[in-house]
A and B are shown apart, each in its own frame.
Chain A
Amino acid sequence: MVALALQDVGAAYGRTTVLSGVTTDLLESGSVTAVIGPNAAGKSTFFKRIASLISGPGVVQLSDTDRGKKTICYMPQDTGANAVLTVYESVLLSAKQGGGWRVSDDELGSIDAILKSLRISDLAFKGLGELSGGQRQLVSLAQALVREPEVLLMDEPTSALDLHRQIDVLDFVSELAVRKGMIVLIALHDLNHALRYCQNTIVIADGVMVASGPTKSVINDGMLRDIYRVAARIETCSLGRPMVIVDRAI
């Protein structure tokens, strides 16, 4: 069991502060948290700060890590690559960072398993350059998962996927979070996905955290009006799920 706590987390590029004041309740293993906000709100910066890829004030505390390796894994939004590598090699590469040249059967076996679980085994020996945007995102997810992270930060993982794949990936990730005891944070634009898959939601706008808490209380008409500048309602569908219905832009 691990837990992630963020206290007044911020980030800066040089002297320019680009993110400030992110504080959350304890995020527990098995939970999925949505990070939402308008474009250029600072969601990617937030993830990079948690993953220690950039520096900044505040405390990112991961408790009870019993594994020695670095266990916070950021899955960047930019999946474009012109490298002459196969999908299989690119996932192997992620698994082998910091390791020796030799590749064991176990390591290859775990790559096979991950590709299979994401249903992209048939892409294994395709070049990265031959993939569609959606396929690249799945490969990117495989590269992250092969590192067996305790905290997985996914930056708009569904943005290039068709509806079927979106649901497929989010189902898979939320199930995996529970099964592996992972803490997952997902930057999302589709608020209905947030309502459906995420227990908690963090709202970031203009580099500042404006709300954080249980998804159903955070996503409400007022927040949609103030942050997203849309007139919208939250209604319960026939299956009993809350849905965001947008009437118009304000």
Chain B
Amino acid sequence: MTDMAVEATATGRDQYRALAFRRIVILSVLAFALAVSVSVDMALGPANYSLTQVLSTIFDPATAANQLRVVIWDIRMPIALMAITVGASLSVAGAQMQTILSNPLASPFTLGISAAAAFGAALGLVGGVALFPGAVQYMVPINAFVMAMAAALFIHFASTMRGVSVETIVLLGIALVFTFNAALSLLEYLASEQALAAVVFWTMGSLTKATWAKVYVTAAILVVTVPLFMRNAWALTALRLGDDKAASMGVNVRRLRLTTMMTVSLLAAIPVSFVGTIGFVGLVGPHIARMVVGEDQRFFLPGSVICGALLLSVTSVVSKVLIPGAILPIGVITALVGVPFFFVLIFSNRRRAW
């Protein structure tokens, strides 16, 4: 045995403790960055308020001026919180899709859930078709949700069929993307000019339609699903070692994969139906988390939540400051902001990337 080995043995436990501590520090720093980003997001807007004004209105709304309170609490805060809940949801959904399918390309976007939602929304915007009768004012998000869930359930049931491998699932998802995109193009071709504009805007993804009700729904789904995943943290991590290995460790692989897929479907469909196609977060959020805290789900899951939330929150800020006075569609900005950052991470971390 080499001297190095002896030394490593003596400190293996301590090294592990240090590693875990480092990850907690990283998560804390990211959480702090998120808090800063959300504050800046709320401070930015056509009406010029200082950061101190904004913060005092958030923490002490009773003493704030009426106009300030309305702008912060009713306009900016739902958008800022929508950014973090949607970012967190899509990122967690992507993280678990990548985990259970053992594929770095899996995400709500690549599995066709976003494309299905866009098609559902377009059905409402172009043809006035309500997939769920009643609640006409919510026709577009409900249509999007119905189609997104349909796509997710299709993927889910396909994955339960005998002989369908995880690679096949990803292929099926990509086939769904093409199918729904083609159907969407057809609708766009047939649409009036006004409806076409609405569809194009919807598919770009936007936070400007955020309301407190939407924030509550998205947050509630997160609050219910994340603890479910956390409870299975060891088992989910084991899945990444391969099905046989996980099963030999006592994990019920089939059941875990199915329940996770069901939960993830909900987690992906809800935010997409509220804010439109924001594909990038679900793919990249978990990759960034994986690079900075590894794949132990006890760290990876909170990491994905925070990275997704931070990515979309920073994007929300950038979408406001890029052209002063205009709020650019967040789906577009997400990719423009995220891709260079993602490249830097990949090239600086080649050894350990997927």
Which residues of A are interface residues toward B (Cβ below 8 A)? 14, 48, 51, 53, 70, 73-76, 78-86, 88-90, 92-94, 96-99, 101, 103, 105, 108-109, 111-112, 115-116, 119-122, 124-125, 127-130, 140, 143-144, 147
Which residues of A are found within 8 Å of B9, using beta-carbon distances? 112, 115-116, 121
CA A65 to CA B53, docked complex, whole Å? 68
Which among B2, B8, B234 is the interface contact of A97 at CB below 8 angstroms? B234
Which among B5, B238, B244 is the interface contact of A76 at CB below 8 angstroms? B244
Which among B237, B242, B251, B291 is the interface contact of A85 at CB below 8 angstroms? B237
Q: How far is the CB of B241 from chain A (nearest CB, A)?
A: 5
Which among A103, A122, A125, A129 is the interface contact of B5 at CB below 8 angstroms? A122
CA A85 to CA B351, docked complex, whole Å? 12
Say whether chain A's binding surface is mostly helix, strand, loop, or mixed: mixed
Which among A51, A84, A90, A112 is the interface contact of B354 at CB below 8 angstroms? A84
- Given A92-B16, A97-B235, A121-B6, verify A84-B249 contact (CB < 8 Å): no
Contact size range, B: 35 or more
CA A99 to CA B298, docked complex, whole Å? 13
For B235, give the chain A residue with the smallest CB separation: A97
Instruction: Verify A111–B12 contact, CB threshold 8 A.
Output: yes
Which residues of A are found within 8 Å of B5, using beta-carbon distances? 116, 119-122
Instruction: Verify B234–A99 contact, CB threshold 8 A.
Output: yes
Instruction: Verify A76–B234 contact, CB threshold 8 A.
Output: no
18 A-B pairs with C-beta separation under 8 A: A70-B250, A75-B248, A80-B242, A84-B354, A85-B240, A89-B16, A90-B241, A93-B241, A93-B296, A97-B238, A103-B20, A105-B13, A108-B17, A109-B13, A112-B13, A140-B245, A143-B241, A143-B245
Q: How far is the CB of B293 from chain A (nearest CB, A)?
A: 9
- Given A112-B9, A121-B9, A122-B4, verify A86-B294 contact (CB < 8 Å): yes
Instruction: Verify A121–B234 contact, CB threshold 8 A.
Output: no
Q: How far is the CB of A16 from chain B (nearest CB, A)?
A: 11
Instruction: Verify A101–B233 contact, CB threshold 8 A.
Output: yes
- Given A76-B248, A125-B15, verify A93-B290 contact (CB < 8 Å): no
Which residues of B are found within 8 Å of A125, using beta-carbon distances? 8, 15, 19
Residues of B210-243 whose CB lies within 8 A of A: 233-235, 237-238, 240-242
Is residue B352 contacting chain A, with contact meaning CB distance below 8 A?
Answer: yes
Which residues of B are interface residues toward A (Cβ below 8 A)? 1-2, 4-6, 8-9, 12-13, 15-17, 19-20, 102, 162, 233-235, 237-238, 240-242, 244-245, 247-251, 290-291, 294-296, 298, 351-354
Instruction: Verify A53–B248 contact, CB threshold 8 A.
Output: yes
For B287, give the chain A residue with the smallest CB separation: A84
Instruction: Verify B6–A73 contact, CB threshold 8 A.
Output: no
Instruction: Verify B234–A98 contact, CB threshold 8 A.
Output: yes
Which residues of A are found within 8 Å of B351, using beta-carbon distances? 127, 129-130
Instruction: Verify B237–A93 contact, CB threshold 8 A.
Output: yes
Which residues of B are found within 8 Å of A144, using beta-carbon distances? 248
